[in-house]
């Protein structure tokens, strides 16, 4: 009856639904899950809830799950190191690991993936033979950002790097384009935070050979660079051009107007949901890695090299 069986007449269905409404009846999801051997929940492990990049990815993921009658169950992988294992113990039907996974999460994902489908979304780790991966092409994005700055005439271009595999790939893309143009790469280690972007920029934006452009690991890091430039009296983009990565809502704010790389975050979330629901529907193909092509978004934080 409640599963819309074609063997139940419309009249009987209407009568039963009316009685349920009158009695305030609600189906018991626990009993249903025991019958179906499914909880209709999907574990979503996010490694940094403070990063606005995750908002876009979840905006793409959640509608796909809801269309399939699934509910996301969110866990913070940074504050809960055993999040993958804990969600598995709750009998989720599948899992999406979003962002840079901790070493513990990688070990747990390797173990858990034998029992339920896992999709890694928006990052390049853990790269396991038993999980699907959906992300943007970080190498192509970093190269596009670097080419943009070179095309504006910049020759002293620094990079505030990120961490993990994504940080490594973006660094390699930046270095590759610098080498192709015959330019010397200058990178400093960082992470994905505004505070570190600010600290690293304060170190490199001094001296007679300071860079005329900076490619930051992501938008949050770029905001830190913008703050440091302002503190040092540097005009953006008159004295310094800055490019971020992720095209978060911060980058789109008129006051910041940050040139950045759009990794198509919402589309990544949507694709991750489609891959996962396909697995739940019986798709037994070999797990794959799908990379979406990023796009350069030019705003007011970049301009020609100062003369």
Band of pLDDT at residue 29, cut at 50, 70 and 90: very low
Res 177 pLDDT > 90: yes
The label of the residue with tokens 């452009």 reads 213
Residues in Cβ contact with 130 at an 8 Å cutoff, skipping those fewer than 6 apart: 110, 113, 114, 118, 287
Averaged pLDDT for residues 164-190 = 97
Res 188 pLDDT > 70: yes
Same domain? 244 vs 128: no
Question: Given this model, what pLDDT does residue 44 score?
Answer: 94
Convert the pLDDT of each residue in 35-90 to its tens digit: 456 799 999 998 877 788 888 999 999 999 999 999 999 998 877 878 889 999 99
Alpha carbons within 13 angstroms on the beta-carbon side of residue 57 total: 26
Same domain? 43 vs 122: yes
CATH code of residue 160: 3.40.50.2300
Instruction: Give percent above pLDDT 70 in the chain.
Output: 88
Same domain? 259 vs 147: yes
Same domain? 219 vs 256: yes
The label of the residue with tokens 């940080």 reads 167
Contact status, residue 215 vs residue 149, Cβ threshold 8 Å: yes
Contact status, residue 303 vs residue 148, Cβ threshold 8 Å: no
- If one counts the domains in the chain, the total is 3
Question: Given this model, what pLDDT does residue 20 score?
Answer: 59
Indicate the DSSP class of residue 293.
P
- Position 109 in a domain: yes
Q: Which domain does 71 fall in, by range?
A: 39-137+265-293
- Position 307 in a domain: no
Average pLDDT over the chain reads 89
Same domain? 132 vs 19: no
Question: Given this model, what pLDDT does residue 31 score?
Answer: 44
Res 28 pLDDT > 60: no
Convert the pLDDT of each residue in 91-119 to its tens digit: 999 999 998 777 777 788 888 888 899 99
Res 215 pLDDT > 50: yes
Same domain? 131 vs 143: no
Retrieve residue 194's tokens. 């505004």
Res 193 pLDDT > 50: yes
Band of pLDDT at residue 128, cut at 50, 70 and 90: confident
Check residues 23 and 150 and name the one with the higher pLDDT: 150
Same domain? 127 vs 275: yes
Band of pLDDT at residue 14, cut at 50, 70 and 90: confident
Averaged pLDDT for residues 158-181 = 96
Res 33 pLDDT > 60: no
Q: How many residues make up the chain in this entry?
A: 307
Same domain? 184 vs 255: yes
Res 4 pLDDT > 60: no
Retrieve residue 105's tokens. 């999460």
- Position 257 in a domain: yes
- Position 305 in a domain: no
Domain ends where: 242, 263, 284?
263
The label of the residue with tokens 């990052």 reads 123
| β-sheet with 41-46: strand ranges across | 71-76, 41-46, 94-98, 118-121, 132-136, 289-292
Contact status, residue 82 vs residue 101, Cβ threshold 8 Å: no
């Amino acid at each position: 009856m409640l599963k819309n069986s074609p063997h139940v007449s419309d009249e009987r269905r209407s009568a039963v639904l009316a009685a349920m409404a009158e009695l305030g009846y609600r189906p018991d999801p626990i009993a249903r899950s025991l019958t179906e051997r499914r909880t209709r929940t999907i574990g979503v492990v996010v490694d940094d809830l403070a990063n606005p990049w995750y908002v876009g990815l979840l905006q793409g993921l959640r509608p796909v799950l809801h269309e399939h009658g699934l509910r996301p169950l969110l866990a913070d992988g940074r504050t809960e190191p055993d999040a993958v294992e804990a969600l598995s113990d709750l009998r989720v039907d599948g899992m999406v690991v979003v962002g840079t996974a901790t070493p513990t999460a990688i070990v747990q994902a390797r173990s858990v993936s034998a029992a339920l489908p896992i999709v890694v979304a928006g990052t390049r780790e853990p790269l396991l033979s038993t999980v699907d991966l959906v992300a943007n092409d970080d190498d192509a994005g970093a190269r596009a950002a670097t080419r943009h700055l070179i095309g504006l005439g910049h020759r002293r271009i620094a990079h505030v790097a990120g961490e993990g595999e994504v940080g490594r790939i973006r660094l390699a893309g930046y270095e590759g384009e610098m080498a192709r143009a015959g330019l010397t790469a200058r990178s400093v280690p960082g992470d994905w935070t505004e505070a570190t972007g600010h600290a690293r920029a304060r170190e490199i934006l001094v001296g007679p050979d300071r860079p005329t452009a900076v490619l930051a690991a992501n938008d949050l890091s770029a905001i830190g660079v913008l703050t440091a430039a302002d503190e040092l009296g540097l005009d953006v983009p008159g004295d310094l051009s800055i490019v971020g990565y992720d095209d978060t809502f911060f980058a789109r704010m008129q006051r910041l107007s940050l040139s950045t790389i759009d990794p198509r975050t919402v589309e990544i979330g949507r694709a991750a949901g489609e891959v996962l629901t396909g697995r739940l529907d019986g798709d037994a193909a070999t797990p794959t890695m799908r990379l979406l092509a990023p796009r350069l978004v030019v705003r007011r934080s970049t301009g020609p090299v100062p003369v």
